Structure 1
Amino acid sequence: MVIIWEKPFKLGGTIGDIEGMPFVEAFRQFQFKAKRENFCNIHVSLVPQPNATGEQKTKPTQNSVRALRGLGLSPDLIVCRSAKPIEMAVKEKISMFCHVEPEQVIFIHDVSSTYRVPILLEEQGIIKYFKQRLNLPIDDQPSDLLMKWKKMACRYERLLKVCSIALVGKYTKLSDCYASVFKALEHSALAINYKLDLMYIDSTELEHSTEAENSVKYHQAWHKLCKADGILVPGGFGIRGTEGKLQAISWARTKKKPFLGVCLGMQLAVVEFARNCLNWEDANSTEFDPDTKNPVVIDMPEHNPGDMGGTMRLGKRRTVFKTENSVLRKLYGDETFVEERHRHRYEVNPELTDCFEEKGLKFVGHDTEGNRMEIIELENHPYFVGVQFHPEFSSRPMKPSPPYLGLLLAATGTLNAYLQRGCKLSPSDSYSDLSDDSSPEKDFPYSDTS
């Protein structure tokens, strides 16, 4: 187990409130139960460089290490963050006053992309250190995976083509709320040799009420939506902003813009289709209107409506494809089922699905019992897909999430060619410069915990 501590300290200020962290004592005790050969403590500290002197200051690191040791935890590695590369004299000073060997002090300065950080770590011997410290079965020679990663980092900095995706949500003022979604989109864009232009759109600004209150915001939001190459509606809770999301979904469906709906995004795609294609004007989710006459999205049957305590469906679950003629099935490598992580308490009403399928909205993925609708696809559309699960949680830099990859492929006009090649990237847009494979690695060694 590797424990990473990161605590900011202001130059000339106090040590801070690390003493108030209740988990510090838990880890102090845990290190003895886990034994030293199974426990590695990494302390991350800022090395500031004030403009007045230009000197890199080590006091914050010294103070934070001292505070941590006073609480019974000694760092095995000290990772120093800085704006510019740290001088060797600074490394030796930290080593001396923090009582660690020089090779236990690692420097991470600002780099062109986060993909450069693992390379910096490897160059300073962190893999060799872990091998010795934790007795890990790692080869001394750089692995093929590391070489591919280095080439991928270089490729990321050479991207010229741009693909714009509109993310329509209600937490857009706090973009970290969609961090996993952003990364999944970025992984997919990188896989096809595109730079991602992610445009955050507050869904409330697409609503007619905003047009009356602030027409400038309304028209700016719609301008961004209209110029986007693809549209994504992510998960969320609560009624605020749902009408704006429905407007965005309707635009994607009628204008044949590539669309991906995740969790609530899929549920709202069903609501929008019911209202505008089945003419069920009051169709809704019972989350927003418990008395709707057409409850196309309902509380999960095993839960009591209105009871929010411990009622979410969580963790990795299996989704079974019900047809071979499914875009998403092909994107998943023609698997008969997939396992993805869930986080929801509402789902599509299974009693009404026949009405949707007669009009072209197909429920191509169900749970193992066939009662829960997991994946939707719209016929005669470049890419109109909704998933009840959260595929962004399992996306990785060299293994992009298939639903997100499909959205980027459709947004760049390359989805059909990709499918016709048996889901292999073209030589010009593939990972062929990174590996011997012509498609993103299917067996990339990442675990997915629920």
Structure 2
Amino acid sequence: MNPVFSCVQGVIGSMKYILVMGGVISGIGKGIIASSVGTILKSCTFQHISAIKKDTQMFVFVLDDGGEVDLDLGNYESFLDIRLTKDNNLTTGKIYQSVINKERRGDYLGKTVQVVPHITDAIQDWVMHQARVPVDDDGVEPQVCVIELGGTVGDIESMPFIEAFRQFQFKVKRENFCNIHVSLVPQPSATGEELRGLGLSPDLIMCRCSTPLDNSVKEKISMFCHVEPEQVICVHDVSSIYRVPLLLEDQGVVGYFCRRLNLPIETRPRKMLAKWKEMSDSGSDRLLEQCSIALVGKYTKFSVIKALEHSALAISHKLEVKVSETLNTLVCGGRSDAIWLPSHHPGGCCTLLVVEEIPPDNVKRYIYVMSYYYKYHAHRHSVNPELKQHFEEKGFRFVGQDVEGERMEVIELDDHLYFVGVQYHPEFTSRPIKPSQPYLGLLLGGFQVIFRKARFSVDSDQSGSSSPDSRASN
């Protein structure tokens, strides 16, 4: 690990922007690299980092405000332990709609609306405004914003955004803007030339490759792309995406940002990065023990699998996920260490647990953690509070309710190793180094692992679990 760099101390007066873009192919790993850049900066006591993505892809992740956004925003939240909103996902449609609204209000005084300057100005205004919106619980304004430009350089869909950022680098000044270009190794010089031809020169070239690059290759890329060798970063394939921040740290990326953007990075030990390394090491291929989790349901979500992955790392196990649309298939198909069972009807999981019986045949030990399918508790059916006592006499314990006492939020079952039903979505706030408490409990119960042996605290301040009303799923 490189030594911690000591840089200018004090408060940064201007927002710092780090633009991440890519060439050759889409899906090259810009999202993980953007998340990793934010992670290593945050680990250097630079506590407030935000993230924005411009994207044209399918929306598959749900944010705290109900916004349906690209999957990479889920990675930003997970890696950086922040909460984003739908406005952190920037799309062409949003920009054009904002310009149309301005034109209809007469903001342009009857002038012809054009891509330059109206669309490009709207992009810059959006970024500058959203970059300063607090994303941490303390409400402090971010000092750095990592911006991922989806797609590839040269795509017609990205051209207005590339032009906007070409202008943007001069508007915010060089000391506040840094550009990272991600490229496959076979064509780094071609993509670099293409980017410079559009008016953006890369400060860092991150080379995606299957194996580490030799110094001679880095020097050749440096020569053809007009950058110093230290500005050529190798991002080779690793056993886990959680190793990428450490990969960047080892190659001096933090020191480069420190000098390039004049960042006040302190010299005290980086506790967050140390925890990240410990967590990453626990997920290496050296692990022999494996946990098998059965996901029952037609609509299994990315966030659920990630929450299970975080918890598996916390107890140093590999994760195997079995997916089935019916419980009977899993019962007949072999044993799983634990079961996650969602409810995809308006009644919610508590109602499901109350009215539905799970056949005990051939089931030695099943453990459940459930969250249900709804939007902002806008369901028509729930457990009748008047029947609460009746169910508790049968062994159900309604251990969590809404503040009005009308909605049963969390239930447990007596005489069971781990049987939990929740109305909310704890998976949305699970983090790699702070796994969601219900999911961590599911795995610990599944293996009968003593809680004190877990490497991560299960106290509420370390759990990463959400409050009952904090998240919604579409």
TM-score bin, normalised by smaller chain: 0.5 to 0.7
Give 1:430's match in structure 2, choosing from 434, 438, 455: 455
Aligned equivalent of 1:233: 341
Give 1:400's match in structure 2, choosing from 430, 435, 448: 435
Aligned equivalent of 1:182: 305
Matched, 1:259 2:364: no
Aligned equivalent of 2:416: 381
Give 1:19's match in structure 2, choosing from 131, 144, 156: 156
Matched, 1:154 2:170: no
Partner letter of residue 157 of structure 2? G
Cα distance between partner residues in 1 of 2:353 and 2:189:
50
CA drift of 1:251 comes to 4.8
Specify which structure has the bigger relative contact order, considering alpha-carbon pairs within 8 angstroms and separated by 6 or more residues: 2
Residue 347 of structure 1 contacts residue 372 of structure 1 at CA under 8 Å; is this kept in 2? no
Partner letter of residue 385 of structure 2? T
Aligned equivalent of 2:382: 349
Cα distance between partner residues in 2 of 1:7 and 1:245:
50
Secondary structure of the 1:346 match is: coil
Deviation by residue 1:230-266 (Cα, 9 ceiling, x = unmatched):
1113476899xxxx999998258986511011233xx
Residue 348 of structure 1 contacts residue 373 of structure 1 at CA under 8 Å; is this kept in 2? no
Q: What is the RMSD computed on CA atoms of the aligned residues? A: 4.0
Partner letter of residue 304 of structure 2? V
Partner letter of residue 196 of structure 1? L
Residue 400 of structure 1 contacts residue 440 of structure 1 at CA under 8 Å; is this kept in 2? no
Aligned equivalent of 2:180: 42
Residue 348 of structure 1 contacts residue 372 of structure 1 at CA under 8 Å; is this kept in 2? no
Partner letter of residue 232 of structure 1? W
- Which residues in structure 2 correspond to 1:175-324 (within 5 Å)? 178-201=301-324, 203=325, 206=326, 219=329, 221-224=330-333, 226-234=334-342, 250-251=358-359, 257-264=366-373, 312-313=375-376
Secondary structure of the 1:96 match is: helix
Cα distance between partner residues in 2 of 1:70 and 1:108:
25
Partner letter of residue 154 of structure 1? D
Unaligned runs of 5+ in 2: 1-16, 27-151
1:346/1:233 CA distance change after superposition, 3 Å: same
Residue 397 of structure 2 contacts residue 411 of structure 2 at CA under 8 Å; is this kept in 1? yes
Cα distance between partner residues in 2 of 1:20 and 1:61:
22
Matched, 1:111 2:238: yes
Secondary structure of the 1:167 match is: strand
Residue 7 of structure 1 contacts residue 64 of structure 1 at CA under 8 Å; is this kept in 2? yes
Deviation by residue 1:164-219 (Cα, 9 ceiling, x = unmatched):
110123246xxxxx332222112112212322222122x1xx38xxxxxxxxxx75
Deviation by residue 1:72-114 (Cα, 9 ceiling, x = unmatched):
3332211111011112122122222222222111101122322
1:198/1:396 CA distance change after superposition, 3 Å: same
Give 2:426's match in structure 1, choosing from 382, 387, 391: 391
Residue 19 of structure 1 contacts residue 71 of structure 1 at CA under 8 Å; is this kept in 2? no
Residue 346 of structure 2 contacts residue 379 of structure 2 at CA under 8 Å; is this kept in 1? no
> TM-score, normalization: structure 1?
0.60
Aligned residues: 318
Cα distance between partner residues in 2 of 1:74 and 1:122:
22
Partner letter of residue 86 of structure 1? L
1:262/1:31 CA distance change after superposition, 3 Å: farther
Partner letter of residue 114 of structure 1? I
Secondary structure of the 2:424 match is: coil
CA drift of 1:29 comes to 4.5
Secondary structure of the 1:135 match is: coil
Residue 398 of structure 2 contacts residue 412 of structure 2 at CA under 8 Å; is this kept in 1? yes
Cα distance between partner residues in 1 of 2:444 and 2:368:
11
Cα distance between partner residues in 2 of 1:256 and 1:187:
23
Cα distance between partner residues in 1 of 2:308 and 2:345:
22
Aligned equivalent of 2:297: 169
1:357/1:129 CA distance change after superposition, 3 Å: farther
Cα distance between partner residues in 2 of 1:387 and 1:262:
5
CA drift of 1:369 comes to 4.1
1:440/1:245 CA distance change after superposition, 3 Å: closer
Aligned equivalent of 1:324: none
Cα distance between partner residues in 2 of 1:372 and 1:33:
52
1:141/1:231 CA distance change after superposition, 3 Å: same
> TM-score, normalization: structure 2?
0.57
1:101/1:160 CA distance change after superposition, 3 Å: same
Partner letter of residue 236 of structure 2? H
1:138/1:354 CA distance change after superposition, 3 Å: farther
Cα distance between partner residues in 1 of 2:447 and 2:310:
15
Matched, 1:145 2:170: no
Percent of paired sites with the same residue:
48
Partner letter of residue 393 of structure 1? F
Secondary structure of the 1:41 match is: strand
Partner letter of residue 178 of structure 2? C
Partner letter of residue 81 of structure 1? R
Cα distance between partner residues in 2 of 1:122 and 1:406:
32
Residue 346 of structure 2 contacts residue 381 of structure 2 at CA under 8 Å; is this kept in 1? no
Cα distance between partner residues in 2 of 1:237 and 1:64:
49
1:97/1:383 CA distance change after superposition, 3 Å: same
Cα distance between partner residues in 2 of 1:72 and 1:80:
21
